[in-house]
Amino acid sequence: MEIAQPRDLERYLSLAKRRHGELCRQKRIFNARNRIIGGDTDAWDAQVHDQKIKEATEKARHETFAAEMRQNDKITCILEGRERRDRKSLCKAINDFQQTFQKPETRREFDLSDPLALRKDLPARQSDNDIRNTVSGMQKFMGEDLNFHERKKFQEEQNREWSLQQQRERESARAHQRCAEDLYFKTRLQFDETAKHLQNLESATRKAVCAAVKEFNRNQATESVERKTREKKQEQEDDLAEISNLLRGDLLSENPQQAASSFGPHRVVPDRWKGMTREQLEQIRLVQKQQIQEKLEKTYGRSLYKSTH
């Protein structure tokens, strides 16, 4: 087993570094795109792609926030309008109740503060049948009440009319209350339907935004895959073209014409010369043999050379 020496390791390391540098240099030289642009296009494309995704995400987020703000504004306006109408309806109901059931003339103390009391006041006595002729007024005495039955009947009719009027007023108040409650419930239902419709619109908007973002991401991914495929295909074509050029070129085909010098046929270019051909080597060996034979003949003579061979 052969043991590697430190010098051999250093030599192998320097050779590997030289090969790696040569491969990197060839990659930079033969890649036309990087050589012309002079930059890392993959990093630039990745940065542009990330920036587009970030802008699309920010735009979708802002649109979502704007939709939520518009939705909240609509709901706030609806609630404020509902509260304003409820307050107005309550004030109107209180005023109607006061005007219907709490009139000033229905109070017990109204006679004391009636501004038209003197104008409405009747004379102390109009006739013998005047109901205001009390005992203390000394206008009518016991036994002189000749229209007792008519007066009693009139009082009964008056009580009956008052009772019917109160019943009608109570029924009217109940009917108004029912109408107000029905209107309130209808308004509540309408507001609930409007809120539900707005909520559905909000949900549809969110779904549309999510679908748009998803479709955008899908398109970006598809474009990225297609771009990488095109780049890989172009790189393969460039590599095949480079390999074909190298195979068909003079460097690997060892064409002897590439080493021919312009100073004459007996001169060659050292960095392109691949060595002599087999015919040239055979010609040189033949000439060397002839020279050896001539030298031996010249030194020992033709006869001695023939006897030894």
Lowest mean pLDDT among 24-28, 89-93, 155-159: 24-28
Sign of the dihedral defined by the CA atoms of residues 220, 222, 223, 229, in that order: positive
At what angle are helices 148-248 and 41-101 packed, to 10 degrees? 180
Q: Write the pLDDT tens digit of every residue in 111-130.
A: 777 788 777 777 666 666 67
Reply yes or no on whether the pLDDT at 306 is more than 60: no
Alpha helices in the chain (DSSP H): 6-30, 32-37, 41-101, 110-113, 117-120, 148-248, 250-253, 278-300, 302-308
C-alpha–C-alpha distance, residues 165 and 173, integer Å: 12
More confident residue, 125 or 93: 93
Band of residue 93 on the pLDDT scale cut at 50, 70, 90: very high
List Cα–Cα distances, 302 to 21, 294, 306, in angstroms: 62, 9, 6
In contact, 156 and 176? CB cutoff 8 Å: no
N- to C-terminal Cα separation, the chain: 48
Cα–Cα distance, 101 to 106 (Å, whole number)? 8
Q: Domain coordinates of the chain in residue numbers? A: 49-103+154-239
- Predicted TM-score (pTM) of this structure: 0.27
Name the phi and psi angles at 9, rounded to 5. -65, -40
Q: Are residues 75 and 197 in contact, defined by beta-carbon separation less than 8 angstroms?
A: no
